[in-house]
Amino acid sequence: MVTLNSKIPQGPLSEKWTKYKADQKLVNPANKRKLDVIVVGTGLAGASAAASLGALGFNVKIFCISDSPRRAHSIAAQGGVNAAKNYPNDGDSIGRLFYDTIKGGDYRAREANVYRLAEVSNNIIDQCVAQGVPFARDYAGMLDNRSFGGAQVSRTFYAKGQTGQQLLLGAYSALSKEIKAGTVKMYERKEMMDVVLVDGKARGIITRDLQTGKLERWFGHAVVVATGGYGNVYFLSTNAMNSNGSAAWQCYKKGACFANPCYVQIHPTCIPVHGDYQSKLTLMSESLRNDGRIWVPKNIEDSVAIREGRLKPTDIAEENRDYYLERRYPAFGNLVPRDIASRAAKERCDAGYGVGTGQAVYLDFSSAIKRLGKDKVEARYGNLFQMYEKITAQNPYETPMMIYPAVHYTMGGLWVDYELQTTVEGLFAAGEANFSDHGANRLGASALMQGLADGYFVLPYTIQNYLSSEIYSQPIPTTVPEFDAAEKAVAEKIEKLMSIKGTKSVDTFQKELGHIMWNKVGMGRTAQGLQEAIPMLKALKEDFWANVRITGDTNSMNPELEKALRLSDHIELAQLMAKDALHREESCGGHFREEHQTEEGEAKRNDEQFMYVAAWEYQGEGVEPQLHKEELNYEFIKVQQRNYK
């Protein structure tokens, strides 16, 4: 059984990281060359970690699913990246970014980690600028900022509507430089299928070559998992098609605790669902909420008329529009955090005021166009408007956009200590794959910050504290029984899946899983719904293993098999999510239990009983996982009810 030790350094909050760095053990250059580090994933977290570790002199191997490291899902982030630079002189500071992040996360994140994140945020911007990331600039040639949800200052740096792309290409360029230098070896189209433990320590991984189907073994003195989040458990999400929680799940099954699986972020501004053939949902950046105003008709008859096509949104007079966010939250208005904006949209639609299919609200730019002129609006959001028009064939300059919340990000993930080490020695997790710094809700533009903080500025230090004790460990040959057993288990799983030869396609199961999760473990959760979800998921798992049909072969490229393998893990992960959501008898951040709300319909936390991180430990197939609690102590921040009014 594991014991959770968060390894938070002693001392005042603002000195912890400095002190840690001063005290930690380092590895000398000659020894670095002898140490192998495996990094899985080439998103912001993985690419930045591998590039930094390679530059330090370690032998790095890095893996990804796609055909090039540049294509990781991080590329799709639009809005921006936060940092406490305070360039606009509007009162920002490390302390304020720290405070906003803790509060935004509904007091469910670890203070020391979040403070460190805020501290290194400024280095990220400097690093990216030095790499040639073309951030937006003002006419003086200085870096420009915009504001994002959950903050009253402008601290978000951006590169048009393609910030993730530019940051990832920056990290990819740093990675490319190390690949050229020979310190990092890149392996594309190879999917991690398991982590290999020798004497209780992570010592390598098993991968499947997605072109040949070949299973391969890789040794590392340490393994870093930076494989992103598990939003695709819901089938429809804003995540890329190949994003998956499979690698994290394999780590869980090898003993790494999985923390807060029920904390899922539902993003308020996505293009609504329009057909059952739909494969994914498209995000409209949160930055749109800077100038767009969200509304539904005030009168239910108008909503009905719009849904039936008898009225157009532009027919509704100003006084008959309900700008419900501005009404309910005058202080933050349209810029309330995501969980709040999403729930407010659901509330209006459930009450019958929705437009479109009934599951949509308006995001209107007409006042911004009046105030700023079309050119300025175009300069700010042109590419997003274009993207919207391409998908919906509607012109947002003339008619308001329609939006609805969609699954977007997972705050939960592998439990890690202050050093980003999981409960398995030598196994580290970075980026969205860990349970990270966002508590129960992540603020906009903070995932990019966290991914790069982990990869550039945290792991390169903390992993050395571990590796310094490994300098006497000779590389383990991948012929030892532990590697044999791990590879055999993967081969057997694949064989079993292929031999089912059932009647239902993988997509049928994906959609069914998504359906259960969205309806019962989605935006508004109830004990009853969750209790229904648990047997449904169990039945789905049985059905899957009895009736899935996978065509094609195992020794060449086979996307059906890839999907099936990930889905088999997602079904199990979904079970844990439901279990976690049921156990957490409170509402906090992205986890909203309808039984626990205030009279005004706001989330009601239960700090007395639930001010902890729920870390689940695998106990074996068919056995209930064990819950470990990491109590959260707020020494520096006064815990309050979150208020954006």
Ligand X SMILES: Cc1cc2nc3c(=O)[nH]c(=O)nc-3n(C[C@H](O)[C@H](O)[C@H](O)COP(=O)(O)OP(=O)(O)OC[C@H]3O[C@@H](n4cnc5c(N)ncnc54)[C@H](O)[C@@H]3O)c2cc1C
Query: Which residues are known to be catalytic?
Result: 338
From another protein, ligand X, none, interface partner of 41 (C-beta below 5 to 8 A by class): ligand X
Binding of residue 135 to another protein (CB under 8 A)? yes
Nearer to ligand X, 193 or 361 (CB): 193
Amino acid at 595: E
CB atoms within 10 A of CB 310: 10
Query: Quick one: which segment of 134-142, 192-200, 245-253, 395-403 binds another protein (CB under 8 A)?
Result: 134-142
Provide, rounded to whole angstroms, the least separation between the CB of residue 87 and another protein.
Answer: 7
Binding of residue 606 to another protein (CB under 8 A)? no
Name residues contacting another protein, limited to 459-518 (CB under 8 A).
460, 505-507
Residues 6+ apart with CB under 8 A from 132: 170, 173
From another protein, ligand X, none, interface partner of 481 (C-beta below 5 to 8 A by class): none
Q: What gap in Å lies between CA 119 and CA 97, rounded to an integer?
A: 9
Name residues contacting another protein, limited to 399-458 (CB under 8 A).
456-457
* β 81-82/156-157 pair status: antiparallel
User: Distances from the Cα of 458 to the Cαs of 149, 454, 463, in angstroms?
Assistant: 26, 5, 8
What mask, x for binding another protein by CB under 8 A, covers residues 351 to 390?
Answer: ------------------------------------x--x
Exposed / middle / buried, residue 339 (Cβ in 10 Å: 0-12, 13-18, 19+): buried
Nearer to ligand X, 113 or 163 (CB): 163
- Contact at 8 Å (CB) between 183 and 29? no
Binding of residue 393 to another protein (CB under 8 A)? yes
From ligand X, another protein, none, interface partner of 228 (C-beta below 5 to 8 A by class): ligand X
Looking at 278-337, list the stretches that DSSP marks H as alpha helix, in order from N- to C-terminal side: 300-307, 324-328
Task: Specify the DSSP class assigned to residue 528.
Answer: H
Nearer to another protein, 6 or 123 (CB): 123
Q: Measured in Å, how far apart are the chain's first and last C-alpha atoms? A: 44
Nearer to another protein, 139 or 472 (CB): 139
User: Distances from the Cα of 600 to the Cαs of 28, 329, 341, 565, 588, in angstroms?
Assistant: 59, 11, 14, 44, 15
List 19, 130, 350, 496, residue binding another protein (CB under 8 A): 130
The DSSP H or E segment spanning 145 is strand 145-146
Provide, rounded to whole angstroms, the least separation between the CB of residue 142 and another protein.
Answer: 5
From another protein, ligand X, none, interface partner of 23 (C-beta below 5 to 8 A by class): none
Binding of residue 169 to another protein (CB under 8 A)? yes
Nearer to ligand X, 191 or 364 (CB): 191
User: Distances from the Cα of 259 to the Cαs of 411, 420, 423, 519, 588, in angstroms?
Assistant: 9, 13, 11, 22, 15
Binding of residue 274 to another protein (CB under 8 A)? yes
Query: Quick one: which segment of 164-172, 247-255, 570-578, 600-608 binds another protein (CB under 8 A)?
Result: 164-172
From another protein, ligand X, none, interface partner of 163 (C-beta below 5 to 8 A by class): ligand X
Name residues contacting another protein, limited to 194-233 (CB under 8 A).
211
- Contact at 8 Å (CB) between 611 and 629? no
From another protein, ligand X, none, interface partner of 162 (C-beta below 5 to 8 A by class): another protein
Provide, rounded to whole angstroms, the least separation between the CB of residue 135 and ligand X.
Answer: 13
Provide the 3-class DSSP secondary structure of residue 539: helix
User: Distances from the Cα of 623 to the Cαs of 251, 354, 502, 568, 619, in angstroms?
Assistant: 17, 43, 27, 17, 6
Provide, rounded to whole angstroms, the least separation between the CB of residue 313 and another protein.
Answer: 19
List 551, 609, 626, 633, residue binding another protein (CB under 8 A): 551
Looking at 57-208, list the stretches that DSSP marks H as alpha helix, in order from N- to C-terminal side: 94-104, 111-131, 163-181
From another protein, ligand X, none, interface partner of 434 (C-beta below 5 to 8 A by class): none
For another protein, how many residues bind (rule: CB under 8 A)? 81
Nearer to ligand X, 329 or 456 (CB): 456
Residue with structure tokens 């923390």? 259
Provide, rounded to whole angstroms, the least separation between the CB of residue 276 and ligand X.
Answer: 22
Query: Quick one: which segment of 32-40, 485-493, 558-566, 633-641 binds another protein (CB under 8 A)?
Result: 558-566
Q: Note the residues at the interface with ligand X (CB under 6 A).
A: 40-46, 63-66, 72-74, 76-81, 163-164, 191-192, 226-228, 238-239, 243-244, 246-247, 283, 408-409, 431-433, 444-448, 451
Provide, rounded to whole angstroms, the least separation between the CB of residue 210 and another protein.
Answer: 9
From another protein, ligand X, none, interface partner of 227 (C-beta below 5 to 8 A by class): ligand X
Name residues contacting another protein, limited to 106-125 (CB under 8 A).
123, 125
Name residues contacting another protein, limited to 59-78 (CB under 8 A).
66-71, 73, 75-76
Name residues contacting another protein, limited to 19-58 (CB under 8 A).
48, 51-52, 55
CB atoms within 10 A of CB 180: 9
Q: What gap in Å lies between CA 400 and CA 393, rounded to an integer?
A: 13
- Torsion-angle region of 82 (φ positive above 0: left; ψ -120 to 50: alpha; else: beta): beta
From another protein, ligand X, none, interface partner of 80 (C-beta below 5 to 8 A by class): ligand X
Q: What gap in Å lies between CA 466 and CA 426, rounded to an integer?
A: 7
What is the arrangement of strands in the sheet containing 145-146, beginning at the earlier edge strand?
81-82, 156-157, 145-146
Binding of residue 174 to another protein (CB under 8 A)? yes
Q: Which long-range contacts (CB under 8 A, 24 or more apart) does 519-523 make?
A: 520/578, 521/262, 521/264, 521/574, 521/577, 521/578, 521/581, 522/234, 522/266, 522/407, 523/266, 523/342, 523/343, 523/346, 523/405, 523/592
Looking at 282-362, list the stretches that DSSP marks H as alpha helix, in order from N- to C-terminal side: 300-307, 324-328, 338-350
Provide, rounded to whole angstroms, the least separation between the CB of residue 516 and ligand X.
Answer: 22
Nearer to ligand X, 150 or 529 (CB): 150
CB atoms within 10 A of CB 15: 13
Query: Quick one: which segment of 19-27, 195-203, 336-344, 550-558 binds another protein (CB under 8 A)?
Result: 550-558
Amino acid at 449: M
Name residues contacting another protein, limited to 75-104 (CB under 8 A).
75-76, 85, 87
Binding of residue 391 to another protein (CB under 8 A)? yes
Provide, rounded to whole angstroms, the least separation between the CB of residue 601 and another protein.
Answer: 33
Q: What gap in Å lies between CA 157 and CA 163, rounded to an integer?
A: 8
From another protein, ligand X, none, interface partner of 198 (C-beta below 5 to 8 A by class): none
Nearer to another protein, 270 or 490 (CB): 270
How many DSSP H helices and E strands does the chain contain?
Answer: 19, 22
Nearer to ligand X, 148 or 362 (CB): 148
Residue with structure tokens 């695709």? 232
From another protein, ligand X, none, interface partner of 476 (C-beta below 5 to 8 A by class): none
Q: What gap in Å lies between CA 455 and CA 123, rounded to an integer?
A: 12
Exposure letters 128-159 (e unless 16+ CB within 10 A, then b): beebebebbeeeeeebbbbbbbbbebbbbbbb
Q: What gap in Å lies between CA 579 and CA 278, rounded to an integer?
A: 28
